[in-house]
Each structure stands twice: as structure tokens, then as C-alpha cells.
Amino acid sequence: MRITVIGCGYVGLVTGACLAEAGHHVVCTDIDGERIAQLQAGGMPIFELHLEEILASTRKAGRISFTPDAGEAIRRSETIFICVGTPPRESGEADLSAIDHVARQIATEARSPKLVIEKSTVPARTGIELRRALTAYTRNADLSFRVASNPEFLREGTAVEDFFHPDRIVVGVEEDSAAAEMREIYRPILEHRFHCPVHNGLCPPGKDAEFLVTTINSAELIKHASNSFLALKISYANVIADLCEKIGADVEQVTHAMGLDPRIGRQFLQAGLGFGGFCFPKDLQAFVYLAAAVGVDFDILKAAERVNKQRIDKFLEKVRKALWVVKGKRLAVLGLAFKANTDDTRFAPALEVVKRLIDEGAHVHASDPEAILKAKAVFPQVHYYEDPYEALREADAALVCTEWECFRKLDWERAGKLMARKLVIDGRNLYSPQRMRELGFEYHSFGRE
Ligand code: UGA
């Protein structure tokens, strides 16, 4: 099929590249001309595992192209994915102005009927407004627009794998014809008719994805309800960690045992510095806002948000308690990205930690395998090192902020010889407290004192 993707941010690029890899012909456009020029020249604006190779192979096969001309992109396909940003406003409400702008572009530039698919995360009822806007903005009364919601459940860092091996594909539609078209788009995935770029064609056996057809409102709600539930789960684990500290229990033992119950599940019970990124914090806020707007009490989500914000305070309390005086100390921050396997630092707990340390007069020396460039743009005064051991040299303490595998595998015996003081404050519970103490470290983590 021919498919247009509007918005070449994270979601748009992954969606466009993976759909092209699955055999479709994709044209991508973006309001940011520089980004399009970079993509046209073979550049890669984001770091995501496997994405660069997929873009290279689909470009070579002539199945993906980039244009700054939205009109041309819109006219080239009957099926359009909207993948633009929906950032939070001050109130927590999602800012839908980019969706509105794209609706106007589609309505004025289209010369034939279109199926317009919301891929951006949007509050419930956006699809209905989108269809109304498309009809209102067009000057050609004979043109028809159908709208579908197709929420994405991709995780940064494993987005390509998630795309090709989803648990579920949710499509919210108003007409059977739209559901049939959506199924056609995802047929290669549903029938495993693709060369898997992650497993090089040798995918491990797994459960087949469920293709769920719902109403548009339900599809939109599924996305917010899923992300908010996961965020709630993390905050729950974090409160358990606080309890463990007070009572004298080990949060890893508690959450491990809890997670073995299939009704609870093991994932997203990792206590620590809390969640960040451009999805959970904003989706939680938008969901709370939506619930309040329709008069539904969703205070448990507000509590989850509050608990998450307090993680940074609790981490810094540990830092202050261990160091006594923070001002003037040389501190090695390990990890800047909001989680491992991404260069994304948006709403990263690590950056908030860095900001507060700078405010308190510490000298911050930081390391991250992918996110240094992005962090440098925000905090040019920090000293950055590709090599974590260089960040640790002469440090008064190591502060672990992101769960990168390379940090998990650090040789602390070696690091200990480089540091001015053998002190580690671990915001991600990466190491065994016993092992760290055996190595002569003063070691603090969450819920395991
Ligand atoms: C999240 C969802 O997991 C995806 O399903 C969804 O598609 C995506 O948002 C989105 O809406 O676009 P993502 O933001 O990439 O994906 O990151 P997650 O892997 O979910 O992690 C979010 C944050 O929670 C990270 O800061 C991570 O460090 C933290 N986390 C995660 C914990 O603190 N504890 C855990 O146990 C798990």
C-alpha cells in the first residue's frame, strides 16, 4: 500500500520505517525542513536500535522517501498516519494544535478521499473532533474523510522489536471499510510476512498479536489507560521501596515475589528514581485532566504522579546524607537518558538530578553511552565523558541515574581505585549491596538499606 506519515519525530520515523520494511511504500513529511533535509541526505536525527539499518535498506529499495512538501505527501497516498507531537500545556491538558494544523493541511491539500489515522497519543474524543475539523476545513464538499485511531505501544529502545512483535494492534474505527484497510496495513505483521530486522529472520516463537477493532473513543482510551496503569505500577513499587527502608525489608525480594503472581506480573515493578520520558509523565497528566474535565475522580493517578516527583527529592536526600556538604564536591553522574537504550533526555530524572546538583554548587562529571549531546545542549557547564571510568576519576561519589547495561557491568574494583571516595548512590538498584560493601564501598540504593 501507499502510506503517508506526517511528523518525523520518534513515533513517525519508527512507524514509517517499519511500515516500509514490512513492504509498503511510505512517504514521510515534517514541518521541520532541516530534519527532512537531514533524512533526505541519509542522516538519522534520533538513536533507536535497528532504525538506521531499516531506513538504509528501505531507502535503497525505494520504499521510503522524505519530502518537506506536505501537500505532495498528502496527495501521494490514500492512507495518512498523523504522528505529530501532543506536548502538555501548563494545566496538563494535551496541546492538540499540531493535530489541528495537520487536519487543515490534509483537508485543503487532498484531492481524493483519505483514511486519516491518529498515531499520536491523544485524549479520548480527539478522533471525533478530527473528523469534524477535516470536514469543516475542506473546500471540496465531495471529498470524504474517514478517521481511525491506531495507538502505538512502542517503547523507546525496543521500538522496532515492539513494532514487528506486538502483543496487540488496536484500531478504533467508525466504518468496517476502515477496519479492513487497517488490517491490510498490518497484514505482513499479523501473518509474519516480513524479514525481521531484529532477529534477522529467525524470530523466536511467540504469541500471535491480537488485532482488536474498537470504537475510536475506546482506542484512544486504551492508550492512556495502559500508560497510566504502568506508571501507577512503578509508583506503587516505589512506595513499597520507601516502606522497606523504614521497616527493614528488601524491595527487590518483595517485588520479585509479587511479580511471580501472573495477575500482577513482573514488569514495571523496578523501584528507583522513577519514570521519565516524553510519554508517562505527560500521558498521566493528560489522563488526569481528561477525567477531571468529565467529572471523574482519578486521584490515584495524581498520587502516582506525586510519588514519582518525590523520587528525585528522596534520591538527593540520600546524596546529602552521605556527602554532608554537596557544594564543591566532584560528583560522577552515570546516565543522562530517561532510560537505557535511548538518547532521549526529555523529562529524564537524571537531568533533574543534574540540575539540582548544579544549583547546590556541585561539580558534575557525567557519562552516558548515547545522551551526552542532548544533555550538553541543556547543561553546557557539566563535564561529559564517553568513558564512565573517566567520569568516576577523582569523584567524591558516583550517582547512578540510568539503568544502562554498561553501568550494570562496571568494574567497581577498578572504579574504586580511581575515585576520591568509595561512595555509590544508586538510583536504579543495579548492584548487590552486599557485593558493593565487600568491595569497600559505602553504598546506598532504594528500599534495600
Ligand atoms: C512507554 C510505554 O511503555 C509504551 O508502551 C508506550 O508506547 C510509550 O510509553 C509511548 O506512549 O509512546 P517509554 O516511554 O519508551 O514507553 O518507556 P518505558 O520503557 O515504558 O519506561 C518509562 C520510564 O519508566 C523510564 O524512565 C523507566 O526508567 C521507568 N521505569 C520503568 C521504572 O522506573 N521502573 C520500571 O519498573 C519500569
Q: For 292-329, what is each residue's pLDDT tens digit?
A: 999 999 999 999 999 999 999 999 999 999 999 999 99
Rounded to an integer, the average pLDDT of 134-159 is 94
What 8-state DSSP symbol labels residue 427?
T
How deeply is 261 buried, as exposed, middle or buried, from its count of CB atoms within 10 A (0-12, 13-18, 19+)? exposed
Ligand 1: nearest atom to the Cα of 153: 7
* pLDDT for position 194: 86
- Which residue has the least CA distance to atom 35 on ligand 1? 268
pLDDT reading at 41 higher than 80: yes
What is the 8-class DSSP label of residue 48?
-
pLDDT at 204: 86
Instruction: Report the percentage of the chain scoring pLDDT > 70.
Output: 100
Protein residue closest via CA to atom 17 of ligand 1: 155
254 pLDDT above the threshold of 90: yes
Nearest to 331 by CA among 341, 344, 318, 343: 318
Distance from the alpha carbon of residue 349 to the mean position of ligand 1, in angstroms: 13
Cβ contact 68:30 at 8 Å: yes
Reply yes or no on whether the pLDDT at 233 is more than 80: yes
User: What share of the chain in percent tops pLDDT 90?
Assistant: 93
For the CA of 121, the nearest atom of ligand 1: 11
Mutate which of 156, 161, 238, 311 to test ligand 1's pocket (most atoms within 8 Å of Cβ)?
156
pLDDT score, position 343: 92
How far away, in angstroms, is 128 Cα from ligand 1 center?
Answer: 28
What is the pLDDT at residue 146?
97
Give the residue-averaged pLDDT of 227-241.
98
Concerning whether 28 is annotated as a catalytic residue, the answer is: no
Pocket-forming residues, ligand 1, beta carbon under 6 Å: 121, 152-156, 227, 230, 234, 268-270, 272, 274-277, 279-280, 283, 338-339
Which residue type does 39 have?
A: L
- Residue whose Cα lies nearest atom 20 of ligand 1: it is 155
pLDDT of residue 47: 87
Element (H, E) at 168: strand 168-172
CA of 352 to the centre of ligand 1 (A): 17
Of 142, 140, 145, nearest in space to 127 by CA = 145
Nearest CA residue ID for atom 22, ligand 1: 275
The average pLDDT across 405-426 equals: 98
Tell me what the pLDDT averaged over the chain comes to: 96
- What confidence score (pLDDT) does residue 408 get? 98
> Does the structure show a pLDDT above 80 at 57?
yes
Give how far Cα 181 sits from Cα of 80, 81, 173, 429, Å: 12, 13, 10, 46
Q: Which residues are CB-neighbours of 234 under 8 A, at least 6 positions away?
A: 268, 269, 270, 274, 275, 280, 304, 308
Average pLDDT on 385-411 reads 98
Centre of ligand 1 to C-alpha 22, Å, is 25
Active-site residue, selected from the candidate residues 28, 83, 244, 279: 279
Burial (CB count <10 Å: 0-12, 13-18, 19+), residue 421 = middle
Write the pLDDT tens digit of every residue in 19-28.
Answer: 999 999 999 9
Average of pLDDT values for 206-234?
95
- What is the average per-residue pLDDT within 143-155? 96
Over residues 353-357, mean pLDDT: 98
Q: Which residue has the higher pLDDT, 195 or 152?
A: 152
C-beta of residue 24 within 8 angstroms of C-beta of residue 77: no
Give me ligand 1 centre to Cα 160, in Å: 15
User: Whole-angstrom Cα distance, residue 409 to residue 67?
Assistant: 43
Query: Which ligand 1 atom is at minimum distance from the Cα of 226?
Result: 5
Give every CB contact of residue 81 below 8 A, 6+ residues apart in sequence: 3, 4, 5, 6, 12, 15, 16, 117, 119, 150
Q: How far apart are CA 414 and CA 417, in angstroms?
A: 5
For residue 449, pLDDT over 90 is answered with no
